[in-house]
Structure 1
Amino acid sequence: MDAKHVIVISYDAFSEENWERAKTLPNMAKLIKAGAYSTKLRSVYPTLTYTVHTTIVTGVYPDKHGIFHNNPLQPFIREKEQEWFWYREAIKVPTIYDAVQQKKMSTAGLLWPVSGKSAIKYNLPEVHALPKENLGLKVLKSGNPIFGIGLELKYGRYRKGIRQPFLDDFTTLCAVDTIKRKKPNLLLLHLIELDDTKHRLGTDSREIETTLIRMDQRLGKIRRAIEEAGMQEDTVVLIVGDHGQFNVNYKVHLNNMLQEQGLITTEKGEMKWRAYLQSTGGAAYLHVKEGDKEAEKIAINTLQAAMEKEQYGIERIFSRQELDSLHVERSINTMIEAKVGYSFEDTLEERILLDLRADNIKYATHGYSPDKENYRCVFIASGPCIKNDYPLGDMEMVDIAPTIGRVLGVEMKNCDGRVLEEIFV
């Protein structure tokens, strides 16, 4: 064991484009000076939050852990009404928090994706309320109710639903409280404001600066909590960006094309499908009803024809062989990748192509291939057993779980990643 405590801060959408500014902020600068860092952390495909966070805690790619999207496939249901992969039972492999618990060490999770009903001891998981559901009740049922009620009574007044910056402020207060009172061996923390700001206003909006400063202040509160808890000499802090984002000029509703080809139909008022594109934002899975080779052929021909037309923004069509090398969910035979400036949407609309600039709409998204240019993530490991001001080169998202295990003296078996041995003193 190199340290008794690891605090993992998922800094959602923290990517290489934010590095130059973020590294000048006081708390980030202190963590970098006392640690190792990389701006070339390669994410997984597709670069969706739940898919990536599951890789972070398992050390394996999506084709093994099973969380291929934020949402299970639910054709024709609008996103706000869809179930998500909220619960630990959906993950097909062991997690780092399971391994830590088995070593009789304590774990905590604050808004960590896909951790509902998990073995995390102090757990306030990330779940969303569907229509007619009570969010507070759902969170408590999915986590540790006594722990969750305690945090809600103390800090609930600082939160305003899921609005930012209030949500991340609330989560940070919960993290500070948990560090001081519980001193967990492993704390998993998910902060979302940067991702939200990019989605709403674009990657180059003025508000990004304000968001980065607020995030640095949150890091300062967490650093002070570690000191006040007397944990400074025994704690490694990891900051992990899960994906980047790109600005979007055009949204493309590709299922309209499948509908035109008769692969999506309406029968007695009910929508039916033989082939369906499930968007990830910057890419889309082609789902085909099992055994329907004719539908698959029609769908692929339709997509190939669309790729010849610039306005639909299809950069590549990946075959299963190519998806193997990208470690994509094995049940998918075909996937399409969007060009930068385009995103794909599931919904059937009047227009296939929506020009956001014409409507003066700012928007950015992710879900693209992790190999696109200027799309790598940021990683920082800081603590007493870590080399100081040490630049790392390329690394993979699957390297994080085994590296956490190394710090805590817990072996993560059958990982696709490696321990980042070079960062240790």
Structure 2
Amino acid sequence: MQKKSNYVIVVSYDAFSKDNWESAASKPNLAKLIERGASTNLLKSVYPTLTYVIHSSYVTGVYPDRHGVFHNNPFQPFVPENEQNWHWFRSDIQAPTVYEAAREKGLTTAGLLWPVSGKANINFNIPEIKAIKNENQALKILKSGSKLFTLQMEMKYGKVRQGIQQPYLDDFTTVCAVDTIKKRKPNLLLMHLIDLDDTKHLLGTKGPHIEEVIERMDRRIGDLVQATKDEGIYEETTFIIVGDHSQLDVQYKVYLNRILYDEGLIYEENGKWHWRAYVQSAGGAAYLHVQPGDTEAEQLALSILQEAARNKNYGIEAILSTQQLQEFHVDSQFRYMIEAKEGYAFEDDHLQEAVIDLHALGKKYATHGYSPTKPDYTSNLIISGNNVIAGSDIGEACVVDLGPTIAHILDFDFGNTDGRALTEIFKR
């Protein structure tokens, strides 16, 4: 097989979904990439549609039941969300990655705020990682990434950033990417831009704020393209712009653990909280955890949740069985998941009211995590480069196809994946 490009730049454009396609495709830089490449707004995700689950599928080419990252966060009952650990480290992924396969081929790799890449075998790596409790943010990133590279980027461009506030964080990632393209010329650059996702969560999926983000995103993409032109590697570069999941607007936050608490499955003893059954929320979906061997708790929790599902106020669309979860390739440790109706999202806290109406509080909110089979819940994918058939339609594809396609472009072996290389979009 002949190498399609010497360089691949992957921009994970978080929450870049079908409903954003028309607007984004009309912007100058993305329009040029679409014209010169292959594209689709029918990219299907994995379940649950959470960023760290999906990014683990991107780089492994396999579903969550094989890579083992089932949520953004490991299970941490009773720990407030802002104090929880996330799946920050490469060691959380239980499958080979495309960036390691690239290095084995002798290629240079770079990662910029790429999820689940802490302490990964990447040449130039600033992982996406957050200090919690009393940790020092700079020190945590240094320990988990490429020390010298991280220090250099921080010294040169740290002033661009304002903590994790947007649009400054994505501006920082982009200037680091431009510098990395020019100074390091990595064969594979993986970067994660979060501006759109953050904005949707905070302000909802519709409105002028979305158009403003899409314009900013287009400028950032333009900066990356220009960097390859400045270095004379544009003709040898394939750009992959990919959205990981959609988002849906939410009116009601639902706290299913409150019902389990009311029924005694979550309880306090000697000043400490305990659980027999606990719902780990994933926005539009949730996992049911049951203490090992406690079949009574499992049956009780199921009957409580089935009763709640009959009450439309709780917004439960379905309680998925083990067989249904297997069809979704959900991690095999789980026997049941709960899917929310559109307009509803699940949260963990067991002491909140069971249902909170955000609109009554004057709040806007959107989230993801829902089943990838929800109507019009797909994302966008653009693959653009000299060896791509210009103007071609990718049609239906899945996020597990990304890793194999990267390997195909850079011509190295990346076998035993669930996804496939999208070979039909490339010139023979």
CA distance in 2, matches of 1:254, 1:177: 47
Which of 27, 30, 35 is 1:28 aligned to? 30
* Residue 251 of structure 2 is aligned to residue 249 of structure 1: yes
Which of 318, 325, 328 is 1:326 aligned to? 328
CA distance in 2, matches of 1:136, 1:389: 43
Shift of 1:239: 0.5
* Residue 59 of structure 2 is aligned to residue 57 of structure 1: yes
> Which residue is equivalent to 1:156?
158
Shift of 1:413: 1.0
* Residues 373-384 of structure 1 mapped to structure 2, 5 A cutoff: 373-384=375-386
Secondary structure in structure 2 of the residue aligned to 1:86: coil
Shift of 1:61: 0.2
Count of paired positions: 425
CA deviation profile, 1:153-202 (whole Å, cap 9, x unmatched): 00000100000000000000000000000000100000000000000000
> Which residue is equivalent to 1:134?
136
Which of 199, 221, 229 is 2:231 aligned to? 229
Which of 408, 423, 426 is 1:424 aligned to? 426
CA distance in 1, matches of 2:141, 2:164: 13
Secondary structure in structure 2 of the residue aligned to 1:31: helix
> Which residue is equivalent to 1:405?
407
> Which residue is equivalent to 1:262?
264
Runs of 4+ in 1 over 4 A off after TM superposition: none
Secondary structure in structure 2 of the residue aligned to 1:220: helix
> Which residue is equivalent to 2:101?
99
Q: Percent identity?
A: 54
CA distance in 2, matches of 1:389, 1:348: 51
Shift of 1:374: 1.4
> Which residue is equivalent to 2:147?
145
Shift of 1:349: 2.9
Shift of 1:233: 1.4
> Which residue is equivalent to 1:175?
177
Instruction: Check whether the contact 2:255–2:352 (CA below 8 A) recurs between aligned residues.
Output: no
Which of 357, 360, 376 is 2:359 aligned to? 357
> Which residue is equivalent to 2:125?
123
> Which residue is equivalent to 1:165?
167
Which of 61, 64, 76 is 1:74 aligned to? 76
CA distance in 2, matches of 1:20, 1:2: 29
CA distance in 2, matches of 1:9, 1:219: 8
> Which residue is equivalent to 2:50?
48
Secondary structure in structure 2 of the residue aligned to 1:6: strand
The alignment yields a C-alpha RMSD, in angstroms, of 0.6
Secondary structure in structure 2 of the residue aligned to 1:194: helix
Which of 237, 240, 244 is 1:238 aligned to? 240
Secondary structure in structure 1 of the residue aligned to 2:82: helix
Shift of 1:2: 1.1
Secondary structure in structure 2 of the residue aligned to 1:358: helix
Instruction: Check whether the contact 2:318–2:338 (CA below 8 A) recurs between aligned residues.
Output: yes
CA distance in 1, matches of 2:167, 2:48: 27
Instruction: Check whether the contact 2:68–2:331 (CA below 8 A) recurs between aligned residues.
Output: yes
CA distance in 2, matches of 1:250, 1:185: 45
Deviates more, 1:329-338 or 1:385-394: 385-394
Shift of 1:389: 1.0
CA deviation profile, 1:40-93 (whole Å, cap 9, x unmatched): 000000000000000000000000000000000000000110000000011101
Q: Any gaps of 5 or more consecutive residues in structure 1?
A: none
Letter in 1 for 2:365: Y
> Which residue is equivalent to 1:367?
369
Secondary structure in structure 2 of the residue aligned to 1:414: coil
CA distance in 2, matches of 1:398, 1:367: 17
CA deviation profile, 1:307-348 (whole Å, cap 9, x unmatched): 000000000010000000000010000000000000000012
Letter in 2 for 1:195: D
CA distance in 1, matches of 2:104, 2:376: 39
CA distance in 2, matches of 1:96, 1:421: 17
CA distance in 1, matches of 2:251, 2:4: 47
CA distance in 2, matches of 1:84, 1:330: 20
Secondary structure in structure 1 of the residue aligned to 2:339: strand
CA distance in 1, matches of 2:404, 2:298: 39
Instruction: Check whether the contact 2:43–2:378 (CA below 8 A) recurs between aligned residues.
Output: yes
> Which residue is equivalent to 2:6?
4
CA distance in 1, matches of 2:270, 2:175: 52
TM-score (norm 2): 0.99
Which of 110, 113, 116 is 1:111 aligned to? 113
Instruction: Check whether the contact 2:5–2:237 (CA below 8 A) recurs between aligned residues.
Output: yes
Which of 212, 236, 239 is 1:210 aligned to? 212
CA deviation profile, 1:1-21 (whole Å, cap 9, x unmatched): 111111000000000000001
CA deviation profile, 1:207-264 (whole Å, cap 9, x unmatched): 1010000000000100000111111111100001000000000000000111112110
> Which residue is equivalent to 1:200?
202
> Which residue is equivalent to 1:280?
282
Letter in 1 for 2:387: C
Letter in 2 for 1:123: N
Letter in 2 for 1:104: G
Secondary structure in structure 2 of the residue aligned to 1:67: coil
Secondary structure in structure 2 of the residue aligned to 1:118: coil
Instruction: Check whether the contact 2:12–2:242 (CA below 8 A) recurs between aligned residues.
Output: yes
> Which residue is equivalent to 1:290?
292
CA distance in 2, matches of 1:33, 1:411: 29
CA distance in 2, matches of 1:252, 1:389: 44
CA distance in 1, matches of 2:216, 2:92: 34
CA distance in 2, matches of 1:349, 1:11: 35
Shift of 1:205: 2.5
* Residue 17 of structure 2 is aligned to residue 19 of structure 1: no
Shift of 1:350: 3.6
* Residue 315 of structure 2 is aligned to residue 301 of structure 1: no
> Which residue is equivalent to 2:393?
391
TM-score (norm 1): 0.99
